[in-house]
Amino acid sequence: MLKNECVCKAIEFIIDNLNEEITITDVADYCHLSKYYLCRIFKAETGEGVYAFIKRLKMEQSAIEMKLGKDKSITTIGSSYGYSSSNYSSAFKKHHHRSPAEFRKTVNTSNAPHPYRPDQLARFQAFEGYDQKIEIRQLAEFRVLYERYLGNYLDLGAQWKVFTAKHQADIHAETLLIERYYDDPAITRVGQCLYDLCMTIDANGECSNSTMIGGGKFAVYRFDGLIKDIYETLQGIYNIWLPDSGYEMDERYGLNIYRQIDRAHSQVIMDLCIPVK
């Protein structure tokens, strides 16, 4: 868990301004810190330097945009993150070990490498298989208590157990447990994924680690199955359904809303919510 509030604030600023030319000084000024102090605490908390973190997120989010927007040109995507055509191609290849054009050929296919099961492929349904289970809904905003993590999604089970035990006194029948995720583990290294564990609290409730999750239009898929199959289902929605759905993912981030959890049998009912426009 990321415990340093200044580092979390810095990450929030970076995420919100990723399409801008962000400097370390910009981030430090936002946090009211010297850039030298910010760099020191950021590296200690995340294992990455501020500049390296910004550059990595630009490369990874631009790859996600390329994956979801198959009709967007590579040049347009690169320029939206502040790169010229040649600079973007060079930076992308250095980070992803393939050119943008080569990367684009590997997405939106019926199967893909599985980052959590290296000996298997993640296999996807046809478009219709996802489309018949997806509803477009307007979700209300949520006020949540949250903790932010930088790590591996495979640790979610243990992290949720600690999180819910810590806040057990505030959990009641109407409380929703929500994951907000920022990365695609098919693109980001599995140990570097950024995500929030959240629980809804009273709309007027205040605490030091509370925030609002914006509502709006979401494509909602009701998942009912084994926890180990969530990744493959989400990837199918992103690889197969979204690019041909007529919708685009907007600038909000995805949510997983838990409805029922059966830890004994590693099963879950949850809503996989993709923000769309």
| DSSP structure string for 75-136 | HHHHHHTT--HHHHHHHHHHHHSS-HHHHHHTSSSSEEE-TT-TTSEEE---HHHHHTTEEE
205 in a domain, yes or no? yes
**Are residues 71 and 142 both part of a single domain?**
no
| Token code pair at residue 212 | 């609002």
Q: Indicate which CATH number applies to the domain containing 82.
A: 1.10.10.60
Show the domain range for 53: 5-105
pLDDT value at residue 217? 97
Total number of domains constituting the chain: 2
Residue 206 clears pLDDT 70, i.e. is over it: no
pLDDT tens sequence across 104-132:
999 989 999 999 998 999 999 999 999 99
DSSP state, 192? G
Output the 3-class SS for 9-56.
Answer: HHHHHHHHCCCCCCCHHHHHHHHCCCHHHHHHHHHHHHCCCHHHHHHH
CB atoms within 10 A of CB 47: 12
What CATH number is associated with residue 222? 3.20.80.10
Q: Does a structural domain hold residue 11?
A: yes
Same domain, 145 and 26: no
**pLDDT tens column, 36-64:** 999 999 999 999 999 999 999 999 999 99
120 within domain boundaries: no
Question: What pTM was estimated for this model as a whole?
Answer: 0.94
93 with 195, same domain: the answer is no
